[in-house]
Amino acid sequence: MDFTLKIWRQKNAKAKGKFVTYKVTGISESSSFLEMLDVFNDQLVTKGEDPVVFDHDCREGICGTCSLYINGRPHGPDDAVTTCQLHMRKFKDGDTIVIEPWRSKAFPVIRDLMVDRQAFDKIIQAGGFISVNTGGIPDANAILIPKADADSSMDAAACIGCGACVAACKNASAMLFVAAKVSHLALLPQGKAEASRRVQAMVAKMDELGFGSCTNTGACEAECPKQISIDNIARMNREFLGAKMGSQKKKVVAGGF
């Protein structure tokens, strides 16, 4: 298969980027989108040009490293897959494919198609954890967790933090990511102790980093490679409202009068 590629090229974070049109030839329809880019980069290097820089790691859809905004959709035209799991048979021979980096103030472009997603790490560092070591695996049924809660928690925990939700959202909002991280902990007893502090800290960090607000368009849910539901966003709104309304007027220091 042959394609025309329109790729965003940008030398570094400060440089002004632009789209460059290329031809790529001899692509197998069974190859993944990233393998297509590997072949294309080989062709570029042979010609003595700089290869296109893009993020990738596990290439089996579980690490959340690959990105790419392909023909107007994060992770391309297929549903519920990451770019590494997108196959070239989803395109027609001779297609023009426009490849852009994630666009968000909070995800600055480092080079070409690679963006800096440390903003997500900073949100996790603000509260997306349990402060104490919860020890080894507890005995079965030592802590009772309703099956429905465990399932919802697991569904939320499937988030790989790729940032497709931010890329897809017209407001570049990170609400689905933060909601997934808040939800998977808030639903389990181990996470409940810090739930109130967690949701406030993570939302505050999300706002500080310059992500947009959620306007409930549902684009994030439609593009999430792990099909995380916007039900989680409603849960986070609920958690946030409860935490804010129920918080003490002044900070209470444990053990003090």
Partner 1 sequence: MGNKLFFYSSITKKIVMALAGLFLISFLVVHLGINLLLLSDDGGAAFMVGVEFMTTNPLVKIMEYVLLGGFAIHILIGVIIQIQNWMARPVRYKVEGYSHLSFFSKYMIHTGAIIFIFLCIHFTNFYFVKLGIVSPPEGVGKEDFYQMATLLFADRFYAILYIVLMIFLGFHLHHAFQSAFQTLGLNHTKYTPFIKTVGTIYSILVPLGFASIPLVFIFIR
Residues that bind partner 1 (CB under 8 A): 6, 8, 19, 69, 71-74, 98, 100, 103-106, 168, 170-173, 203-204, 206-219, 222-223, 230-231, 233-241, 244
H or E segment and range at residue 110: strand 109-111
Alpha carbon distances (Å) from 228 to 28, 213, 232: 31, 18, 8
Q: Which is nearer to partner 1, 55 or 100 (CB)?
A: 100
111 forms beta bridges with 114
Q: Which is nearer to partner 1, 105 or 192 (CB)?
A: 105
**How far apart are CB 14 and partner 1 at their closest, in Å?**
14
Four-residue CA torsion sign, 184, 186, 192, 197: positive
**How far apart are CB 42 and partner 1 at their closest, in Å?**
25
**How far apart are CB 213 and partner 1 at their closest, in Å?**
4
Q: Which is nearer to partner 1, 65 or 173 (CB)?
A: 173
Cα–Cα distance measured from residue 206 to residue 240, given in angstroms and rounded to the nearest whole number: 13
**How far apart are CB 31 and partner 1 at their closest, in Å?**
22
Q: How many CB atoms lie within 10 A of CB 171?
A: 16
Q: Which is nearer to partner 1, 188 or 214 (CB)?
A: 214
Cα–Cα distance measured from residue 55 to residue 23, given in angstroms and rounded to the nearest whole number: 21
Amino acid at 60: E
Q: Which is nearer to partner 1, 42 or 79 (CB)?
A: 79
| CB-based contact 236:175 (threshold 8 Å) | yes
**How far apart are CB 243 and partner 1 at their closest, in Å?**
10
Q: Tokens at residue 187, please? A: 């639903």
Pairing of strands 96-100, 3-9: parallel
Cα–Cα distance measured from residue 74 to residue 123, given in angstroms and rounded to the nearest whole number: 21
**How far apart are CB 234 and partner 1 at their closest, in Å?**
3
Q: How many CB atoms lie within 10 A of CB 86?
A: 23
Cα–Cα distance measured from residue 26 to residue 211, given in angstroms and rounded to the nearest whole number: 40
Q: Which is nearer to partner 1, 24 or 243 (CB)?
A: 243
Q: Which is nearer to partner 1, 16 or 250 (CB)?
A: 16
**How far apart are CB 220 and partner 1 at their closest, in Å?**
8
